[in-house]
Structure 1
Amino acid sequence: MTQAAPTRYRLDLAYDGRDFHGWATQDGFRSVQGTLEHWISTVLRLPEPVSLTVAGRTDAGVHARGQVAHVDLPADDLAEELQRRLGRVLPDDVVVHRVRVAPEGFDARFAAIWRRYVFRLADDSPDPLVRHTAVRVRGPLDVAAVDAGARSLVGLHDFGAFCKRREGATTIREMLECHAERSPAGLVEVTLRADAFCHSMVRSVVGALVAVGQGQRDAAWLASLLDRVDRAGDVTVLPPHGLVLEEVGYPDDDQLAARQLEARARRDERPLP
């Protein structure tokens, strides 16, 4: 008897990254992926462990409010049951808001067209209650200068100066949106939205913008970073706890399969403007 093909499920989730060693499973460390895979396999009493694919693999200490993952399961009627059972057993620092059958062609990672992060900075006598979700910097920051610098990074660029380069991987990314503003709570919020991000890219970009906002660096220095292909030693990588993955964007269902093919192509084959 032929075994039925598995059903793909989309999970929308959030987590406080403070006590996780990042998203990805690592032996001997607590991870978001490891926690979810354990409990999904446990509550469904599956004979084999499941494997989750995620839209954005967050680093240790980074939070997520709008993370997306997918998992393939052996039945097509498990969404409500899985969401209910996970709600009973998951620890308080991770929540699965919704489980649903994924449309054809969906892949949490490769079908995504953008990821939106917000980095929060406290630059003047911050509220101690935000110390786990905002990074304190010497201030006050010139928010207008930070915003102008952020907007100059929009477009298709090689962000190698801001990334930990990995063999065989490209650092070319398209920054779709980048700006800064002061929130009603008094924090400086830097929003970054791109087709994808390299390892430590957001924390490095915001570190460079902070240097501009503090008057230590100017716009010409920031622009020069886009001419470098190797990581810049004069760019500070900020601590992770100010960073939140807020949202992941996907195309319409009939474009999911095509988006997968596009995303799997090497970005270094695309010409820079």
Structure 2
Amino acid sequence: MPDAFSEPADSATPREWTVSHQPARSFEGGHEMQSARLRLDLSYDGTDFHGWAAQPGQRTVQGELERALAQVTRTELRLTVAGRTDAGVHARGQVCHLDVPRDVLATLPGRSDRSPADALVTRLAGVLPPDVVVHIVREVPASFDARFGALWRRYRYRISDGPAVHDPLRRDVLRHRRPLDVEAMSEASRALLGEHDFLSYCRPREGATTIRELRELSWERPGEGQADEGLIVATVVADAFCHHMVRSLVGAMIGVGEGRRPPEWPAEVLSARTREAATRDGVGAAPLCPSRGLTLDHVAYPPDEELAARAAIARTRRA
């Protein structure tokens, strides 16, 4: 599965592919649409989930959310998500969409004066487990596609590299036993920015491209009084990510931060374009870091009038 990804771009299952290509139906001449497309903004603690995508016999975010939607609407509904996260990966700014028949939507407020979207938020809160929260539901144009319509995704990876900042209550932080050199990691990251073939930094999917535009890969150690004080925080932004790409980028930089690899090594890994394992002194595929510290932070979309064009471009590029 994708890493918080790791995913988003090339991991749709046949079921998701079908849904994302079936916009809410409408009629010309002022007739009411037969279904409404809804955008859901949500967060989850990925610790106890086997990733986003529904899988038989596994607890997944998609499975829990679709089960809750069926309970509330008494209708089987299917979700299309911006990024199919891996097992153990968290999300603060996940986005998905679904199409809901308008007659079903109209029943949600009951006798209250709430809008159907607000009523859906309230009802979902009553049936979802505590490690999943839907923050906002809003109706969007039929051209909105949570997956293909995204302009960019931002992930953050948090690392605790010393006893003074280890917090056993934080489930979104990787506990690392060696101190890391943030400046060296920052230096090494700059060479990876831009559009490249990230084959060495991902697990390729059959028929899918591994070319991505990495817009940001930065490192910081927030100071006293700041959020995540004392931790090491990586910010990773790209148009989309290949499977395991974020965790591989972080894994390579950890080697630099520990002093086991020189700052130029991650660029050599990128140029190698290989899935072969690296030797002690050689260049191969980037190592994969644990999923625990990774969080999908934000997904950005264009204005409504540009949604259809953006989705068409993304589908073409991913092909």
Q: Which TM-score applies when normalising by structure 1?
A: 0.92
What do residues 149-184 of structure 1 show as CA deviations (whole Å, max 9, x unaligned)?
Answer: 222211001111011111101111001111000023
Partner of 1:38: 67
The whole-number CA distance in structure 1 between the counterparts of 2:89 and 2:255 is 21
Equivalent residue for 1:257, pick from 305, 308, 311? 308
Counterpart selection for 1:89 from 116, 120, 127: 127
2:210 equivalent in structure 1: 171
**1:193-238 Cα deviation digits (max 9, x unpaired):** 0000111111111000010111111122211112122225233211
Q: Which runs of 4+ in 1 moved over 4 A?
A: none
CA contact (8 A) 1:15 1:65 kept: yes
Q: Distance in 1 between matches of 2:141 and 2:215?
A: 26
Post-superposition shift, 1:42?
1.1
The aligned counterpart of 2:222 is 183
CA distance in 2, matches of 1:61, 1:219: 29
Q: Give the % identical residues.
A: 52
Any stretches of 5+ residues in structure 2 without a counterpart?
1-26, 107-115, 224-228, 279-285
Distance in 1 of aligned mates of 2:134 and 2:170: 25
* SS state at 1:115 partner: strand
Q: Structure 1 pair 136/232, CA: closer, same or farther in 2 (3 Å)?
A: farther
Structure 1 residues without counterparts, runs of 5 or longer = 269-273
Q: Matches of 1:183 and 1:58 in 2, distance apart?
A: 26
Preserved CA contact (<8 Å) 2:215 2:237? yes
TM score, norm. by length of structure 2: 0.80
Distance 2:297 2:240 in 1: 14
Deviations 1:19-63 (A, max 9, x none): 1100000000000001101111111112xx111000000000000
Letter in 2 for 1:40: L
- DSSP-derived class of the 1:266 partner: helix
Residue identity opposite 1:236 in structure 2: P
**Partners of 1:232 and 1:262 in 2: CA distance:** 32
User: What's 1:148 paired with?
Assistant: 187
- Secondary structure of 1:219's match? coil
* 1:60 aligned residue: 87
Deviation at 1:86, TM superposition (A): 0.3
1:226-265 to 2 correspondences below 5 Å: 226-234=270-278, 235-265=286-316
C-alpha RMSD over aligned residues = 1.7
CA radius of gyration, larger in:
2
* Counterpart amino acid of residue 250 in structure 1: Y
Structure 1, 18-27 or 77-86: larger mean CA deviation: 77-86
User: Which of residues 200, 204, 211 in structure 1 aligns to 2:255?
Assistant: 211
